[in-house]
Homo-oligomer: A and B are copies of this chain.
Amino acid sequence: MKAYSQMSKEELLALQQELEAKYEDVKSKGLKLDMSRGKPAKTQLDLAKGMMDVLDSDSDMNCEAGMDCRNYGLMEGIPEANRLMADMAGVPKKNVVLFGNSSLNIMFDTVSRSMTHGVCGSTPWSKLDKVKFLCPVPGYDRHFGVTEYFGVEMVNVPLLATGPDMDVVEKLVAEDESIKGIWCVPKYQNPTGISFSDETVRRFANLKPAAKDFRIYWDNAYSVHHIYDDQQDEILEILSECEKAGNPDMVYEFISTSKVSYAGSGIAALVTSEANLADVKKHMFYQTIGHDKVNQLRHVKFFKDMDGVRDHMKKHGDIMRPKFEAVLKVLDRELNGLEIGSWVAPRGGYFISFEALDGCAKAIVSKAKEAGLVMTGAGATYPYGKDPKDSNIRIAPSFPTPEELAIAAEIFVLSVKLISVDKMLDQ
Protein backbone atom coordinates (compact mmCIF):
# COMPACT_ATOMS: atom_id res chain seq x y z
CA MET A 1 0.00 0.00 0.00
CA LYS A 2 1.11 3.49 -0.73
CA ALA A 3 1.99 5.79 2.14
CA TYR A 4 -0.36 8.77 2.37
CA SER A 5 2.62 11.08 2.41
CA GLN A 6 3.57 9.81 -1.04
CA MET A 7 0.16 10.53 -2.55
CA SER A 8 -0.61 13.47 -4.78
CA LYS A 9 -3.33 15.94 -3.89
CA GLU A 10 -5.59 14.36 -6.50
CA GLU A 11 -5.06 10.89 -5.12
CA LEU A 12 -5.79 12.15 -1.63
CA LEU A 13 -8.97 13.90 -2.76
CA ALA A 14 -10.19 10.75 -4.50
CA LEU A 15 -9.35 8.72 -1.45
CA GLN A 16 -11.15 11.18 0.77
CA GLN A 17 -14.30 10.90 -1.32
CA GLU A 18 -14.16 7.12 -1.21
CA LEU A 19 -13.54 7.04 2.55
CA GLU A 20 -16.35 9.50 3.23
CA ALA A 21 -18.79 7.34 1.32
CA LYS A 22 -17.75 4.32 3.36
CA TYR A 23 -17.98 6.34 6.56
CA GLU A 24 -21.50 7.58 5.78
CA ASP A 25 -22.49 4.02 5.06
CA VAL A 26 -21.18 2.77 8.42
CA LYS A 27 -22.63 5.74 10.26
CA SER A 28 -26.08 5.06 8.82
CA LYS A 29 -26.10 1.65 10.50
CA GLY A 30 -26.49 3.36 13.91
CA LEU A 31 -24.02 1.04 15.63
CA LYS A 32 -23.24 1.21 19.34
CA LEU A 33 -19.79 -0.12 20.15
CA ASP A 34 -17.44 0.54 23.03
CA MET A 35 -13.66 0.05 23.11
CA SER A 36 -13.11 2.57 25.88
CA ARG A 37 -12.78 0.61 29.07
CA GLY A 38 -10.31 -1.91 30.49
CA LYS A 39 -13.14 -3.94 31.86
CA PRO A 40 -13.31 -7.75 31.79
CA ALA A 41 -16.09 -9.34 29.74
CA LYS A 42 -18.86 -11.41 31.30
CA THR A 43 -17.24 -14.58 29.91
CA GLN A 44 -14.12 -13.75 31.91
CA LEU A 45 -16.06 -13.12 35.11
CA ASP A 46 -17.85 -16.42 34.60
CA LEU A 47 -14.47 -18.17 34.76
CA ALA A 48 -14.53 -17.54 38.52
CA LYS A 49 -18.12 -18.67 39.00
CA GLY A 50 -16.90 -21.43 41.27
CA MET A 51 -15.69 -18.78 43.69
CA MET A 52 -19.32 -18.43 44.78
CA ASP A 53 -19.39 -22.10 45.79
CA VAL A 54 -16.17 -22.49 47.78
CA LEU A 55 -17.77 -21.16 50.96
CA ASP A 56 -21.17 -22.19 52.20
CA SER A 57 -22.95 -22.42 55.53
CA ASP A 58 -21.07 -25.60 56.43
CA SER A 59 -17.60 -24.20 55.73
CA ASP A 60 -14.93 -23.89 58.36
CA MET A 61 -14.52 -20.12 58.56
CA ASN A 62 -11.29 -20.19 60.51
CA CYS A 63 -8.07 -19.20 58.80
CA GLU A 64 -4.72 -20.90 59.30
CA ALA A 65 -4.01 -18.61 62.24
CA GLY A 66 -7.03 -20.16 63.96
CA MET A 67 -9.06 -16.96 63.81
CA ASP A 68 -12.63 -16.74 62.61
CA CYS A 69 -12.51 -14.82 59.33
CA ARG A 70 -15.94 -13.38 60.09
CA ASN A 71 -14.72 -11.50 63.15
CA TYR A 72 -12.45 -8.55 63.86
CA GLY A 73 -8.71 -9.05 63.91
CA LEU A 74 -5.68 -9.75 61.69
CA MET A 75 -5.38 -6.29 60.24
CA GLU A 76 -2.66 -7.38 57.78
CA GLY A 77 -4.78 -10.19 56.30
CA ILE A 78 -5.08 -13.94 56.86
CA PRO A 79 -1.77 -15.82 56.48
CA GLU A 80 -2.88 -17.99 53.56
CA ALA A 81 -4.09 -15.01 51.48
CA ASN A 82 -0.98 -13.14 52.43
CA ARG A 83 1.08 -16.05 51.09
CA LEU A 84 -0.91 -16.22 47.85
CA MET A 85 -0.32 -12.54 47.16
CA ALA A 86 3.36 -12.86 48.16
CA ASP A 87 3.72 -15.67 45.63
CA MET A 88 2.00 -13.56 43.01
CA ALA A 89 4.56 -10.80 43.61
CA GLY A 90 7.42 -13.30 43.95
CA VAL A 91 8.46 -12.02 47.38
CA PRO A 92 8.48 -13.40 50.96
CA LYS A 93 5.26 -13.14 52.97
CA LYS A 94 6.83 -10.63 55.34
CA ASN A 95 6.81 -8.05 52.54
CA VAL A 96 3.05 -8.15 52.02
CA VAL A 97 0.08 -6.50 53.67
CA LEU A 98 -3.43 -7.10 52.38
CA PHE A 99 -5.84 -4.25 51.84
CA GLY A 100 -9.41 -4.14 50.56
CA ASN A 101 -10.80 -4.75 47.10
CA SER A 102 -8.74 -2.34 45.04
CA SER A 103 -5.08 -1.59 44.44
CA LEU A 104 -6.01 1.87 43.15
CA ASN A 105 -7.35 2.54 46.61
CA ILE A 106 -3.98 1.53 48.13
CA MET A 107 -2.17 3.90 45.76
CA PHE A 108 -4.56 6.71 46.67
CA ASP A 109 -4.05 5.96 50.37
CA THR A 110 -0.31 5.93 49.92
CA VAL A 111 -0.27 9.39 48.38
CA SER A 112 -2.83 10.65 50.89
CA ARG A 113 -0.79 9.31 53.82
CA SER A 114 2.36 10.91 52.44
CA MET A 115 0.50 14.22 52.22
CA THR A 116 -0.66 14.15 55.84
CA HIS A 117 2.09 12.16 57.57
CA GLY A 118 5.08 11.96 55.24
CA VAL A 119 6.98 8.79 54.38
CA CYS A 120 8.79 6.97 57.21
CA GLY A 121 9.13 10.13 59.25
CA SER A 122 9.74 12.64 56.43
CA THR A 123 8.00 16.00 56.30
CA PRO A 124 4.34 15.62 55.30
CA TRP A 125 4.08 16.59 51.65
CA SER A 126 1.25 19.00 52.43
CA LYS A 127 3.83 21.10 54.31
CA LEU A 128 6.13 21.35 51.29
CA ASP A 129 5.98 24.09 48.68
CA LYS A 130 6.21 21.71 45.78
CA VAL A 131 5.83 17.96 45.27
CA LYS A 132 6.39 16.35 41.88
CA PHE A 133 5.86 12.91 40.37
CA LEU A 134 7.42 11.57 37.22
CA CYS A 135 4.90 10.14 34.80
CA PRO A 136 6.08 7.88 31.99
CA VAL A 137 3.82 8.65 29.04
CA PRO A 138 1.57 7.42 27.67
CA GLY A 139 0.32 5.97 30.96
CA TYR A 140 -2.70 5.19 33.13
CA ASP A 141 -5.19 8.02 33.64
CA ARG A 142 -6.18 6.85 37.13
CA HIS A 143 -2.59 7.26 38.33
CA PHE A 144 -2.44 10.78 37.00
CA GLY A 145 -5.85 11.47 38.53
CA VAL A 146 -4.63 10.60 42.03
CA THR A 147 -1.56 12.84 41.89
CA GLU A 148 -3.45 15.68 40.24
CA TYR A 149 -6.14 15.48 42.94
CA PHE A 150 -3.50 16.01 45.63
CA GLY A 151 -1.93 18.93 43.80
CA VAL A 152 1.22 17.02 42.87
CA GLU A 153 2.96 18.46 39.80
CA MET A 154 3.37 15.83 37.11
CA VAL A 155 6.40 15.69 34.85
CA ASN A 156 6.21 13.68 31.63
CA VAL A 157 8.93 11.13 30.92
CA PRO A 158 9.05 9.38 27.54
CA LEU A 159 8.23 5.69 27.54
CA LEU A 160 10.48 3.63 25.29
CA ALA A 161 10.12 0.02 24.15
CA THR A 162 12.22 -0.97 27.19
CA GLY A 163 10.31 1.13 29.73
CA PRO A 164 10.67 4.74 30.87
CA ASP A 165 13.66 6.63 29.44
CA MET A 166 16.02 5.94 32.33
CA ASP A 167 18.52 8.62 31.32
CA VAL A 168 15.81 11.17 31.98
CA VAL A 169 14.56 9.46 35.15
CA GLU A 170 18.04 9.13 36.68
CA LYS A 171 18.90 12.73 35.98
CA LEU A 172 15.66 14.22 37.27
CA VAL A 173 15.40 12.24 40.53
CA ALA A 174 19.07 12.91 41.31
CA GLU A 175 18.84 16.66 40.96
CA ASP A 176 15.33 17.53 42.13
CA GLU A 177 14.43 16.87 45.77
CA SER A 178 10.79 17.75 45.14
CA ILE A 179 10.39 14.61 43.00
CA LYS A 180 8.82 12.13 45.40
CA GLY A 181 7.61 9.38 43.14
CA ILE A 182 7.22 7.86 39.71
CA TRP A 183 4.19 5.97 38.41
CA CYS A 184 5.07 2.67 36.73
CA VAL A 185 3.12 -0.21 35.22
CA PRO A 186 6.15 -2.45 34.65
CA LYS A 187 4.53 -5.36 32.86
CA TYR A 188 2.17 -5.16 29.90
CA GLN A 189 2.08 -1.44 30.54
CA ASN A 190 -1.16 0.50 30.34
CA PRO A 191 -1.65 1.45 27.53
CA THR A 192 1.36 0.38 25.42
CA GLY A 193 1.56 -3.27 26.48
CA ILE A 194 5.38 -3.11 26.72
CA SER A 195 7.26 -4.68 29.64
CA PHE A 196 10.27 -3.12 31.35
CA SER A 197 13.59 -4.67 30.35
CA ASP A 198 15.94 -6.15 32.96
CA GLU A 199 18.24 -3.21 32.47
CA THR A 200 15.41 -0.78 33.14
CA VAL A 201 14.42 -2.55 36.34
CA ARG A 202 18.05 -2.59 37.52
CA ARG A 203 18.46 1.09 36.74
CA PHE A 204 15.30 1.74 38.75
CA ALA A 205 16.72 -0.21 41.69
CA ASN A 206 19.95 1.78 41.48
CA LEU A 207 18.40 5.25 41.37
CA LYS A 208 20.06 7.85 43.56
CA PRO A 209 17.16 10.15 44.36
CA ALA A 210 17.79 13.50 46.01
CA ALA A 211 14.63 13.00 48.09
CA LYS A 212 14.92 10.46 50.92
CA ASP A 213 11.15 9.96 50.68
CA PHE A 214 11.20 9.22 46.96
CA ARG A 215 9.40 5.98 46.15
CA ILE A 216 8.80 4.04 42.95
CA TYR A 217 5.06 3.38 42.61
CA TRP A 218 5.20 -0.04 40.95
CA ASP A 219 1.67 -0.89 39.85
CA ASN A 220 2.12 -4.49 38.82
CA ALA A 221 -1.49 -4.73 37.65
CA TYR A 222 -0.92 -7.23 34.85
CA SER A 223 1.71 -9.54 36.32
CA VAL A 224 -0.14 -12.72 35.36
CA HIS A 225 -2.27 -11.37 32.52
CA HIS A 226 -0.66 -13.10 29.57
CA ILE A 227 -2.40 -13.51 26.24
CA TYR A 228 -0.16 -16.28 24.93
CA ASP A 229 0.96 -19.41 26.66
CA ASP A 230 4.23 -19.66 24.79
CA GLN A 231 5.20 -15.99 24.57
CA GLN A 232 5.12 -14.43 28.00
CA ASP A 233 6.99 -11.39 29.21
CA GLU A 234 8.90 -11.74 32.46
CA ILE A 235 10.26 -8.85 34.46
CA LEU A 236 12.80 -8.79 37.25
CA GLU A 237 11.40 -8.76 40.78
CA ILE A 238 11.89 -5.17 41.91
CA LEU A 239 12.06 -5.55 45.73
CA SER A 240 15.05 -7.85 45.68
CA GLU A 241 16.73 -5.71 43.02
CA CYS A 242 16.30 -2.65 45.24
CA GLU A 243 17.67 -4.58 48.18
CA LYS A 244 20.71 -5.69 46.19
CA ALA A 245 21.28 -2.10 45.14
CA GLY A 246 21.21 -0.89 48.75
CA ASN A 247 17.84 0.82 48.27
CA PRO A 248 15.56 -1.62 50.11
CA ASP A 249 12.87 0.95 50.93
CA MET A 250 12.62 2.64 47.54
CA VAL A 251 9.61 0.82 46.10
CA TYR A 252 5.91 0.36 46.82
CA GLU A 253 4.46 -2.43 44.69
CA PHE A 254 0.71 -2.73 44.23
CA ILE A 255 -1.04 -5.92 43.16
CA SER A 256 -4.60 -7.22 43.11
CA THR A 257 -6.82 -9.94 41.76
CA SER A 258 -9.17 -7.41 40.17
CA LYS A 259 -8.75 -8.84 36.69
CA VAL A 260 -8.00 -12.33 37.97
CA SER A 261 -11.16 -13.07 39.96
CA TYR A 262 -13.64 -10.18 39.88
CA ALA A 263 -13.14 -6.52 39.04
CA GLY A 264 -13.98 -4.68 42.23
CA SER A 265 -14.55 -7.77 44.38
CA GLY A 266 -11.02 -9.08 44.45
CA ILE A 267 -8.28 -8.73 47.02
CA ALA A 268 -5.41 -6.25 46.84
CA ALA A 269 -2.04 -5.97 48.51
CA LEU A 270 0.83 -3.62 49.15
CA VAL A 271 4.23 -5.23 48.64
CA THR A 272 7.20 -3.41 50.11
CA SER A 273 10.11 -3.53 52.58
CA GLU A 274 9.52 -4.32 56.23
CA ALA A 275 10.50 -0.79 57.22
CA ASN A 276 7.93 0.67 54.83
CA LEU A 277 5.31 -1.79 56.05
CA ALA A 278 5.91 -0.80 59.66
CA ASP A 279 5.29 2.81 58.64
CA VAL A 280 2.15 1.89 56.70
CA LYS A 281 0.75 -0.27 59.48
CA LYS A 282 0.92 2.61 61.93
CA HIS A 283 -1.46 4.41 59.59
CA MET A 284 -3.66 1.36 58.98
CA PHE A 285 -4.11 0.91 62.70
CA TYR A 286 -6.15 4.11 62.82
CA GLN A 287 -7.76 3.60 59.43
CA THR A 288 -9.39 0.24 59.86
CA ILE A 289 -9.91 -2.70 62.19
CA GLY A 290 -9.22 -4.94 59.21
CA HIS A 291 -10.25 -5.74 55.67
CA ASP A 292 -12.68 -8.37 54.42
CA LYS A 293 -11.11 -11.64 55.54
CA VAL A 294 -14.03 -13.75 54.31
CA ASN A 295 -13.25 -12.63 50.79
CA GLN A 296 -9.57 -13.37 51.38
CA LEU A 297 -10.49 -16.88 52.49
CA ARG A 298 -12.77 -17.28 49.47
CA HIS A 299 -9.92 -16.40 47.13
CA VAL A 300 -7.54 -18.88 48.73
CA LYS A 301 -10.14 -21.66 48.68
CA PHE A 302 -10.79 -21.00 45.01
CA PHE A 303 -7.28 -20.51 43.64
CA LYS A 304 -5.45 -22.62 46.25
CA ASP A 305 -2.00 -21.38 45.13
CA MET A 306 -0.14 -19.67 42.31
CA ASP A 307 -0.48 -22.71 40.07
CA GLY A 308 -4.21 -22.27 40.46
CA VAL A 309 -3.91 -18.61 39.54
CA ARG A 310 -1.75 -19.40 36.50
CA ASP A 311 -4.17 -22.07 35.27
CA HIS A 312 -7.01 -19.61 35.71
CA MET A 313 -5.15 -16.90 33.81
CA LYS A 314 -4.69 -19.24 30.86
CA LYS A 315 -8.45 -19.28 30.50
CA HIS A 316 -8.49 -15.48 30.60
CA GLY A 317 -5.80 -15.53 27.91
CA ASP A 318 -7.90 -17.81 25.74
CA ILE A 319 -10.71 -15.25 25.87
CA MET A 320 -8.50 -12.21 25.38
CA ARG A 321 -6.36 -13.58 22.54
CA PRO A 322 -9.02 -13.62 19.80
CA LYS A 323 -10.10 -10.14 20.87
CA PHE A 324 -6.65 -8.66 20.57
CA GLU A 325 -6.17 -10.53 17.32
CA ALA A 326 -9.47 -9.30 15.89
CA VAL A 327 -8.33 -5.72 16.34
CA LEU A 328 -4.73 -6.27 15.33
CA LYS A 329 -5.77 -8.10 12.17
CA VAL A 330 -7.77 -5.10 10.96
CA LEU A 331 -5.02 -2.66 11.94
CA ASP A 332 -2.45 -4.74 10.04
CA ARG A 333 -4.58 -5.27 6.97
CA GLU A 334 -5.84 -1.71 6.68
CA LEU A 335 -3.01 0.46 7.94
CA ASN A 336 0.27 -1.30 7.21
CA GLY A 337 2.38 0.75 4.85
CA LEU A 338 0.17 3.85 4.97
CA GLU A 339 2.47 5.54 7.50
CA ILE A 340 -0.41 7.14 9.33
CA GLY A 341 -0.09 5.29 12.60
CA SER A 342 1.87 2.76 14.59
CA TRP A 343 1.12 0.22 17.29
CA VAL A 344 2.70 -2.74 19.04
CA ALA A 345 1.02 -6.13 19.41
CA PRO A 346 1.22 -6.75 23.16
CA ARG A 347 1.67 -10.17 24.75
CA GLY A 348 -0.55 -9.40 27.68
CA GLY A 349 -2.43 -6.79 29.65
CA TYR A 350 -5.59 -5.03 28.59
CA PHE A 351 -4.71 -2.49 25.93
CA ILE A 352 -3.35 -1.68 22.52
CA SER A 353 -1.80 1.74 22.16
CA PHE A 354 -2.15 3.51 18.82
CA GLU A 355 0.11 6.37 17.77
CA ALA A 356 -1.63 8.44 15.14
CA LEU A 357 -0.10 11.30 13.17
CA ASP A 358 0.56 14.35 15.33
CA GLY A 359 -2.53 16.41 16.00
CA CYS A 360 -4.95 13.68 14.92
CA ALA A 361 -5.90 11.71 18.06
CA LYS A 362 -8.78 13.90 19.25
CA ALA A 363 -10.25 14.15 15.79
CA ILE A 364 -10.04 10.38 15.25
CA VAL A 365 -11.77 9.59 18.56
CA SER A 366 -14.44 12.12 17.78
CA LYS A 367 -14.91 10.76 14.24
CA ALA A 368 -15.24 7.22 15.60
CA LYS A 369 -17.79 8.39 18.15
CA GLU A 370 -19.90 9.98 15.44
CA ALA A 371 -20.12 6.55 13.80
CA GLY A 372 -21.15 4.85 17.05
CA LEU A 373 -17.80 3.71 18.46
CA VAL A 374 -16.78 4.96 21.91
CA MET A 375 -13.01 5.05 22.51
CA THR A 376 -11.06 6.20 25.56
CA GLY A 377 -10.90 10.00 25.35
CA ALA A 378 -7.82 11.22 23.51
CA GLY A 379 -5.39 12.77 25.99
CA ALA A 380 -6.47 10.44 28.82
CA THR A 381 -3.13 8.65 28.67
CA TYR A 382 -1.29 11.86 29.62
CA PRO A 383 -1.18 13.89 32.85
CA TYR A 384 -3.84 16.61 32.99
CA GLY A 385 -5.46 14.93 29.96
CA LYS A 386 -2.99 16.79 27.75
CA ASP A 387 -1.24 14.79 25.10
CA PRO A 388 1.29 17.36 23.83
CA LYS A 389 1.36 15.82 20.35
CA ASP A 390 -2.33 14.81 20.35
CA SER A 391 -1.31 11.49 18.89
CA ASN A 392 -2.01 8.68 21.39
CA ILE A 393 -5.20 6.61 21.43
CA ARG A 394 -5.85 3.75 23.84
CA ILE A 395 -7.74 0.75 22.47
CA ALA A 396 -9.43 -1.46 25.06
CA PRO A 397 -10.51 -4.72 23.43
CA SER A 398 -11.54 -6.71 26.54
CA PHE A 399 -15.23 -5.99 26.92
CA PRO A 400 -16.82 -6.44 23.44
CA THR A 401 -16.99 -9.77 21.63
CA PRO A 402 -14.46 -10.57 18.85
CA GLU A 403 -17.25 -10.02 16.31
CA GLU A 404 -18.06 -6.58 17.71
CA LEU A 405 -14.36 -5.80 17.85
CA ALA A 406 -13.90 -6.61 14.17
CA ILE A 407 -16.58 -4.06 13.28
CA ALA A 408 -15.29 -1.57 15.85
CA ALA A 409 -11.79 -1.87 14.43
CA GLU A 410 -13.12 -1.17 10.92
CA ILE A 411 -14.75 2.02 12.15
CA PHE A 412 -11.55 2.92 13.93
CA VAL A 413 -9.26 2.49 10.91
CA LEU A 414 -11.75 4.32 8.71
CA SER A 415 -11.64 7.22 11.17
CA VAL A 416 -7.84 7.11 11.25
CA LYS A 417 -7.68 7.18 7.46
CA LEU A 418 -10.18 10.01 7.07
CA ILE A 419 -8.55 12.27 9.64
CA SER A 420 -5.09 11.49 8.26
CA VAL A 421 -6.19 12.37 4.73
CA ASP A 422 -7.69 15.61 6.05
CA LYS A 423 -4.39 16.38 7.71
CA MET A 424 -2.45 15.71 4.52
CA LEU A 425 -4.76 17.92 2.50
CA ASP A 426 -4.47 20.71 5.09
CA GLN A 427 -0.70 20.80 4.80
Contact = CB atoms under 8 A, between A and B. Distances in A.
Given A50-B57, A116-B150, A263 B104 contact: no
Contacts of A287: 104-105, 108
A377 interface: no
A146 interface: yes
Given A53-B57, A149-B286, A295 B265 contact: yes
Contact of A56 (B48, B53, B108, B292): B53
A40 interface: yes
A268 to B, nearest CB: 11
A185 to B, nearest CB: 16
A369 B285 CA distance: 24
Contacts of A124: 126
Given A145-B286, A293-B264, A55 B57 contact: no
A81 to B, nearest CB: 13
A288 interface: yes
A278 to B, nearest CB: 16
A263 B71 contact: yes
A39 interface: yes
A283 B111 CA distance: 13
16 contacts: A40-B71, A42-B71, A45-B61, A71-B263, A104-B288, A105-B288, A115-B115, A115-B116, A116-B116, A146-B286, A149-B283, A264-B289, A264-B292, A264-B294, A265-B292, A265-B294
Interface of A: 37, 39-40, 42, 45, 48-50, 52-53, 55-57, 59, 61, 68-73, 100-102, 104-105, 108, 112, 115-116, 124, 126-127, 142, 145-146, 149-150, 262-265, 283, 285-295
